[in-house]
Amino acid sequence: MMKISMFIFPQITQRKSLLVAAILILAALLAVKLTPTMHAVNTTPDIDSIIPVEFGDWKQIADPFTQVGLTTGGNDLASQLYDKVVMRTYANKNGDRVMLAIAYAREQKQDIKIHRPEVCYVAQGFQLLSKTNNTMNLFEARPVKASRLLVSNQNRYETVSYWIRIGDDYPVNGMSARLKILGDGLKGKVLDGVLVRVSTAVSSPAGAEEAYKGQEEFVKNLIGSVQASKRSLFISN
């Protein structure tokens, strides 16, 4: 009886081992097959030169304030997440000021993707008072799915308008961004992404609506001043 048992158990163990090995090999083959290989962009665009320092009635000025960082850890981690970051302040002849922040990354992945401004502001001590969705019509491109924020930090109020482009889409939340990255990743595509954020300080929440309108007009003029062949970096055709 002992001899039979010793003969059977090794056979069962061997079969299980072969099955596990087969599953591991299949998983490895699928991982290779599903790994994205086609990059949307092969080189990092020179956003500093693409975005003009002066356009229409707007001109770049020295930053009077340090802008809120583009990551949950402030600006220190930005260079690790993004291939290019541009942060400027513009003023017009009326003395109106708009802060512009652009973050670009050639590769968007599930674990490394553009941080949403509402998360960054809260992580850096601001209170999120409101968030609303907005649609911007910029030229002949598809309408841009944007968001508006109203945040505060002690006695400081700030209005924020932004959009995130990932590939050819504008995900409005973290889940839609993950699904976009996953869907195109299964097709073998590595998507690029960009965040375009404009913000304005206001004395009280009552001035938010006027500030949002001014920000939308600002980005229309801004994108309009960009060379036509370069606009797809910021907006999807």
Report yes or no on whether pTM surpasses 0.85: no
The answer to whether residues 165 and 193 touch, using CB atoms and an 8 Å cutoff, is yes
For residue 13, the model assigns a pLDDT of 63
For residue 236, the model assigns a pLDDT of 86
For residue 70, the model assigns a pLDDT of 86
Six-digit token string for 138: 């910029």
For the beta carbon of residue 176, count every other beta carbon within 10 angstroms: 15
Going through 50-155 in order, the beta strands assigned E by DSSP cover 54-55, 58-61, 84-91, 97-105, 127-136, 144-153
Instruction: Name the residue among 89, 62, 66 with its Cα closest to residue 153.
Output: 66
pLDDT averaged over consecutive 10-residue blocks of the chain (237 residues)?
46 61 54 52 86 96 84 64 92 94 84 82 94 88 91 94 93 87 84 94 95 96 93 89
Torsion 194-199-205-210 (CA) sign: negative
The answer to whether residues 84 and 70 touch, using CB atoms and an 8 Å cutoff, is no
Six-digit token string for 52: 């003009």
The CA angle 127-151-55, to the nearest 5 degrees, is 150
Question: What is the C-alpha end-to-end distance of the chain, expressed in Å?
Answer: 76
For residue 25, the model assigns a pLDDT of 58
For residue 110, the model assigns a pLDDT of 61
